[in-house]
Structure 1
Amino acid sequence: MRIALLAHLRHPIAPPFAGGLEAYCWHLAAGLTARGHEVVLFASGDSDPSFTLDAVSPVHHEARFPRLEHRGDPGLRSHVDAAYGAACDRIAAGGFDVLHNNSLSRLPLERRRTERVPTVTSLHAPPYDALRWFVHDSPSPTHRLTATSAAHLRSWWPDGAPPEASVLHNGIDPAAWPWSGRGDGSAVWSGRLAAVKGAHLAMAAARRAGLPLTLFGPVEETDYWEGTIVPQLGGPVRYGGHLPGPALAAELGRASVFLFTPCWDEPFGLAAIEAMACGLPVAGFARGAAAEIIGEAGRLVPSEDTASLAAAIPAALAVPRSVPRERVLRLFTRDRWLDACEALYAEARAGAPSPSPASRAAP
């Protein structure tokens, strides 16, 4: 198939990844290309040049409009709308069999567009007012929508999802996150250093439990980093930097437990399954999709309760390291994810009925 992949423009689609959405788009492009599809990545012009790239904007918009995401800035909104509108026009004229839309923009959802190019839209954020109506109005025989978890799907359609919407769990390449049979007794946390990710709560819980902790990930919110994280660093709690995948996998494999601390309704939790693939059981907050993703591979406690999180760490440490790895191999591999993507593309192209509710249910 000739496939257009439309990405979000906040960050480049290139490693080391700024977040899960950037990793998702990169691995989707790489995986589909490896399967023999002709893939064009519509993303910022400073994305990975190893792909066939159509620049939606010259550079990612965090470089031009720093720290204005989610603030309703009219200049950023106008810039993004113009870029996506032009990209959608190029996709419509580009002879593509299908569009996989990961943009978080309302424009690719318009029926006049999805009727011209069969489309799969993957939702990557909890519902918000600027997009909700357009999502709810968009299902059609040539438009499929996916959420990253059953919890995420319910958040978008609390009264029941339409037949065109289903769960598409994220997947990773287990070979890129090798299993390690033994940890060194320390805890680890990875993700974007932003308040909603809760690294400060992981720090508090690790200190309370008496475990060394290393944080990994990009600094997204400078004020949060400087005012909340930096003052807590020191002694057994340290920052290990923003590492590329292979280096991060090695660091994860050395640790004994992963702390997962979302302070929002996390739609999936890619960082958790990366750690689980390396053999780390999880101690975390039961928020968003956490219970669905982590399952028997960890122990979860009420959100933002650091005392309970510290108390859950010994129970998580008692989970055999084979358990989280086996859960990833069973449910969250790249091949399983790509198989599901290809099936969705075929549905959108054919306008075929969606699977039954039973077959769409999360494992």
Structure 2
Amino acid sequence: MKLLVVSTPLGPLGSGLGGGVEITLNSLVAGLLDRGHSITVLAAEGSSLGPSCQRAELWLRSGRPQLSSQHADREADVVMPADGLLPQFWRAVLEQASSGRFEAVVNLAYDWLPFWLTPTLALPVFHLVSMGSVNAAMDGVIAQVAAWDQRRLAFHTATQAADFDLPGPPVVVGNGFDLDAYGLCLEPDALLGWVGRVAPEKGLEDAAAAAMQLGRRLAVWGLVEDRAYAAAVEASVPAGTLDWRGFLATDQLQAELGRCQALLNTPKWNEAYGNVVVEAMACGVPVVAYRRGGPGELVQPGLNGWLVEPDDTTALAEAVCRVDGIDRRRCRAWVEQEASRAVFAERLEGWIERGLQICR
């Protein structure tokens, strides 16, 4: 297949501004290239693709970043900057609609415009939905596409898909990771870890509270989106509890993350998947997570971590005390079976090919 993959308009690939979509895009592109498909990526100016994606063509566009739906009020109107990346991306897609260069578009952006355009385009558009329900306008336009042709939609987890009004069972593709980029660490340090964008919906304060209860140090990796929030979290625990390590590329992150005894995952909203959960497991790190969103499907209690009830920091701390009973090799084995790049690419290929058979 000849596919045009449209990136997130939140910022350049490689900046961390796109969150988990950046990991998903690189895995999707590399996996489909490995299966013999031709891939072009449409992304923000300043973007770079990972080493395994260099056979893909990269088209760049400039413009103002789109505001994230995740940070909008639930009933907020759709807002698009006139000189924004989002309209630039989809102007480029429209220009290719009758060119014959591509067989399909794969959209990774969680934005209203591409979903709304889908029934009107001659070029088939497939959406890998990257978030759960956060905004009424997005819920509505996803439901409209589902009612028109649900085969155009795929989700990371069944839990995520359950957020939306779908007429039939969802296509669930999970996510994928280049496991060669993650080393298995069997001898961790006495260190807890937390990875994510530092913003209120990610719940860092709960991980900090659990670390404080245990008298343990918590390493924090991720882009600080809300500095006031970060400062408030740090002020809520004794000095030295939090070890701020910043946003790191995968090779650096996995080397440090693998040294953790456990990863704490404490989102305050329904994560669609939970990339950092799988990245930790790929290094052999058990995960202690809230039974909420995608991580509730990924963590298999007693096998690769433990689940506790959401927002219960005492239960979170108690579960950390049980991670030594988990074989770190089994954490890695679960990822190899369920979330490798090859497995992900095969699922994606099947989804798109089935959809194209109908379109033809």
2:255 maps to 1:250: yes
Alignment map for 1:36-55 (pairs within 5 Å): 36-48=36-48, 51-55=56-60
Q: Say if 2:191 and 2:218, in contact at 8 Å, map to a contact too.
A: yes
Alignment map for 1:47-66 (pairs within 5 Å): 47-48=47-48, 51-55=56-60, 57-59=61-63, 61=65
Q: Say if 1:17 and 1:23, in contact at 8 Å, map to a contact too.
A: no
For the residues of structure 2 that align with 1:197 and 1:32, how far apart are their CA atoms? 31
For the residues of structure 2 that align with 1:205 and 1:236, how far apart are their CA atoms? 10
For the residues of structure 1 that align with 2:200 and 2:156, how far apart are their CA atoms? 22
For the residues of structure 1 that align with 2:257 and 2:129, how far apart are their CA atoms? 28
For the residues of structure 2 that align with 1:345 and 1:245, how far apart are their CA atoms? 28
Per-residue CA distance 1:10-54 (angstroms, 9 max, x = gap): 021226565101221232223323433221111212211655222
Q: Say if 2:254 and 2:283, in contact at 8 Å, map to a contact too.
A: yes
The answer for unaligned runs of 5 or more in structure 2 is none
Within the candidate set 187, 195, 202, 1:190 is matched to: 195
TM-score (norm 2): 0.87
Map of 1:327 onto structure 2:
334
For the residues of structure 2 that align with 1:304 and 1:150, how far apart are their CA atoms? 22
Map of 1:216 onto structure 2:
221
For the residues of structure 1 that align with 2:103 and 2:257, how far apart are their CA atoms? 39
| CA distance 1:328–1:113, change in 2 (3 Å) | same
For the residues of structure 2 that align with 1:269 and 1:68, how far apart are their CA atoms? 15
Map of 1:87 onto structure 2:
92
Q: Say if 2:3 and 2:40, in contact at 8 Å, map to a contact too.
A: yes
Tell me the SS of whatever aligns to 2:42: strand
Tell me the SS of whatever aligns to 1:295: coil
| CA distance 1:221–1:232, change in 2 (3 Å) | same
| CA distance 1:236–1:104, change in 2 (3 Å) | closer
State the 1:80 CA deviation: 5.2
Tell me the SS of whatever aligns to 1:167: coil
Alignment map for 1:1-363 (pairs within 5 Å): 1-14=1-14, 18-48=18-48, 51-55=56-60, 57-59=61-63, 61=65, 70=72, 76-78=80-82, 79=84, 82-95=87-100, 96-110=102-116, 113=119, 116-127=122-133, 128-139=135-146, 140=148, 143-157=151-165, 161-162=167-168, 165-229=170-234, 232=237, 234-296=239-301, 297-351=304-358
Which is worse superposed, 220-229 or 300-309?
A: 220-229
State the 1:211 CA deviation: 2.1
Tell me the SS of whatever aligns to 1:299: strand
State the 1:271 CA deviation: 0.3
| CA distance 1:229–1:161, change in 2 (3 Å) | farther
Tell me the SS of whatever aligns to 1:215: strand
Tell me the SS of whatever aligns to 2:185: coil
AA in 1 matched with 2:347: A
> How many residue pairs get matched?
347
AA in 2 matched with 1:104: Y
State the 1:115 CA deviation: 5.7
Which is worse superposed, 212-221 or 108-117?
A: 108-117
Per-residue CA distance 1:254-308 (angstroms, 9 max, x = gap): 1111111111111110000000110111112111122211113111111111111
Which is worse superposed, 78-87 or 336-345?
A: 78-87
Q: Say if 2:289 and 2:299, in contact at 8 Å, map to a contact too.
A: no
Tell me the SS of whatever aligns to 1:189: strand
| CA distance 1:251–1:335, change in 2 (3 Å) | same
For the residues of structure 2 that align with 1:90 and 1:113, how far apart are their CA atoms? 16
Tell me the SS of whatever aligns to 2:171: strand
The answer for unaligned runs of 5 or more in structure 1 is 353-363
For the residues of structure 1 that align with 2:167 and 2:331, how far apart are their CA atoms? 30
Q: Say if 1:233 and 1:239, in contact at 8 Å, map to a contact too.
A: no
Map of 1:359 onto structure 2:
none
State the 1:6 CA deviation: 1.0
State the 1:113 CA deviation: 4.8
For the residues of structure 1 that align with 2:118 and 2:253, how far apart are their CA atoms? 43
Per-residue CA distance 1:183-207 (angstroms, 9 max, x = gap): 1121111111111111121111011
Tell me the SS of whatever aligns to 2:321: helix
AA in 1 matched with 2:240: G
| CA distance 1:254–1:137, change in 2 (3 Å) | same
State the 1:73 CA deviation: 8.3
Tell me the SS of whatever aligns to 2:327: coil
State the 1:248 CA deviation: 0.6
Q: Say if 2:5 and 2:105, in contact at 8 Å, map to a contact too.
A: yes
For the residues of structure 2 that align with 1:98 and 1:67, how far apart are their CA atoms? 25
State the 1:86 CA deviation: 0.9
